[in-house]
Structure 1
């Protein structure tokens, strides 16, 4: 609705048409080493 009501004002706050940039979160509760977590993140598909 914001985009429809205030298109000119809202557009300067968008990142590629979105209100936020793509981001990542990684957590481990099993004590996995950071190297394994990083490898898993690096092998994920990245948004275009």
Structure 2
């Protein structure tokens, strides 16, 4: 994600979670009940990291090589 430096990471994440939650509920109405029962579709936490300008191909390769949870 590339965003203006004046936007805080927390505001960006809040916006992304809100918009994606609404959109997912439109596409998949079955999510509405589970989201209501949990009081949210997304976790209240998040992780943000920087790749220091590395090319997207390098970042993608790094992510793809990570071990998957069992």
- TM category, shorter: 0.3 to 0.5
Bigger proportion of residues as helix: 2
User: Normalization by structure 2: what TM-score?
Assistant: 0.29
Q: Which has the larger radius of gyration?
A: 1
